[in-house]
Amino acid sequence: MQNPLNLARQPIMDRHEQIVGYEFFYRDDEGKCSIDDPRHATSSVLVNLLNQIGTASSFGDALAFINTDGPLLLTDIIRTLPKEKFIFELSESMKHTAQVHEAIRYYHSLGYRFALDNASCHPHYFENFAPLFPYMEFAKFDVTRIDIEQFNSLPNPYGQMKLIAQKIEFHEIVEAYKHLGFDYYQGFYFAKSHLITHQRIDPKNSDVLALFSLLQTDTSIEEIYAVFQRQNALSLQLIQFLSSTYPEHIYEAASIQQMIERMGKNALTQWLLLIIYSKSGIKADNASGTYALFAQKRVDVILNLLSLASPNPSNELIETARLLALYSLLEGFMNVSMDQIIRTLKPTSEIKDAIMAHSGLLGRVYTATLKLENGDGATASLLLKSYGVAPELLEEYVTIAG
């Protein structure tokens, strides 16, 4: 796996030691926690979870706890995220402004959920965070920084919040906090942070910025989609994002353009802004030998073979073939079986039959592409012979796809 992305997670357990959620932590390309810009770190975690790894394989039905900075809350990005999946943790170092407080109140009114990270009994902490207490569902306490006797001697100002004890290292600490009414626990006693590495596929930064700029104008969906046609890595990230957030936008879609239409320009703009903040495409401009390059090759070969087997394909058939190519790449990108992808994303019957049964013209073209990728030009030629494709026309694709 070349230039993989890195992300760390640690489980949060209930009193019965059942996992109720995971906290996700930013890691750089070397697997280290080196944060210069909190907004970049938060955006990177969200992009890696939603656009690349996917929520199904990273936390499934559990909750995802994400450290969130103030400036990100002042954007509309949060509104593009599924409120039932995420708990946004507010750092003790967060800068308090009237705008940030209003944003939290607003998102809470929409059903988004928040937690206090490294909550404290210190008067200065109360002064800053007390106005936000009505909007907090969880409060996390670092047991290495809290005097447990404070909970016995002071009134509990945290009301009906669910209390989480973090940095637990010993069984005795768990028992002590159980007696104080804590129901959730996190720390090395249960599990250390686990580093997740995953196949990275990043769009070109220049294309992301160009598309974002285009969306600031009164542009058409067709013009927007033209950028996606040039940038298959962006299309794959969009499919993964929608499968993680709003899969109904994917079901039986005939093209990426149809997915974009269902998503809408505003949500697409905020999604691109999240990618820009994360800087996830920086290394893609000069990358070679990556999965993004492989993805581009497969799409190109499938479309080229289609043009050979069907000299005058309709635009609808071309777009179906393009989407077929993208779906065929998801198995390696999402790291899940094709059966599961088909069940989850519910593509059109034409795409499903082509991928699973290799039936019809698209099924033959897809199978021939796989054979060419394995250097088997002879079988690819046989598969397309009935469509009048001469063997010598396939020779160049053995090298391109392989």
Lowest mean pLDDT among 134-143, 233-242, 274-283, 326-335: 274-283
| 164 and 248 co-located in one domain | no
pLDDT tens-digit series, residues 127-170: 999 999 999 999 999 999 887 777 766 557 787 899 999 999 99
pLDDT at 270 over 50: yes
Shared domain check, 187 and 258: no
For residues 275 and 370, membership in a common domain is answered with yes
Average pLDDT over residues 347-356: 95
Instruction: Give the model confidence (pLDDT) of 6-23 as tens digits.
Output: 999 999 999 999 999 999
Report which residue type is found at 242: L
CA–CA dist 187, 172 (Å, integer): 13
Domain that residue 253 falls in: 205-401
**Quick check: 341 and 274 in contact, CB under 8 A?**
no
Q: What is the 3-state secondary structure (H, E, C) of the chain?
A: CCCCEEEEEEEEEECCCCEEEEEEEECCCCCCCCCCCHHHHHHHHHHHHHHHHCHHHHCCCCEEEEEECHHHHCCCHHHHCCCCCEEEEECCCCCCCHHHHHHHHHHHHCCCEEEECCCCCCHHHHHHHHHHHHHCCEEEEECCCCCCHHHHHCCCCCCCCEEEEECCCCHHHHHHHHHCCCCEEECCCCCCCEEEEECCCCCCHHHHHHHHHHHCCCCCHHHHHHHHHHCHHHHHHHHHHHHHHCHHHCCCCCCHHHHHHHHCHHHHHHHHHHHHHHCCCHHHCCCCCCHHHHHHHHHHHHHHHHHHHCCCCCHHHHHHHHHHHHHHHHHHHHCCCHHHHHHHHCCCHHHHHHHHCCCHHHHHHHHHHHHHHCCCHHHHHHHHHHHCCCHHHHHHHHHHHC
Q: Is 158 in the same domain as 66?
A: yes
Residues 177, 229 within the same domain: no
- Long-range pairs, 151-154, Cβ under 8 A, ≥24: 151/121, 151/180, 152/180, 154/121
User: What is the count of structural domains for the chain?
Assistant: 2
Residues 319, 280: one domain? yes
Same structural domain for residues 156 and 91? yes
Higher pLDDT, residue 213 or 286 = 213
Contact 253, 344 (CB under 8 A): no
- Same-domain pairing of 123 and 217: no
Q: Which pLDDT score, from 0 to 100, does residue 206 have? A: 80
**Hey, what are 142's tokens?**
């670092």
Q: Give the whole-number percent of the chain exceeding pLDDT 70.
A: 93
Same domain for 174 and 223, yes or no, is: no
Question: Which pLDDT value is given to residue 39?
Answer: 79
Q: Is the pTM of this model over 0.85?
A: yes
Q: Which of 169, 198, 227 is the last residue of a domain?
A: 198
Place of tokens 């393009």: 322
Q: What is the average pLDDT value for the chain, to the nearest integer?
A: 89
Would you state the pLDDT for residue 80? 87
Residue at which a domain ends, from 198, 222, 255: 198
- Which residue is listed with tokens 């800068």? 95
Question: CB–CB of 302/369 below 8 Å?
Answer: yes
Give the CATH number, domain containing residue 194: 3.20.20.450
Examine the domain organization and report whether 126 and 22 are in the same domain: yes
Whether 183 and 211 map to the same domain: the answer is: no
Check whether residue 258 and residue 384 sit in a common domain: yes
- Which of 166, 198, 230 terminates a domain? The answer is 198
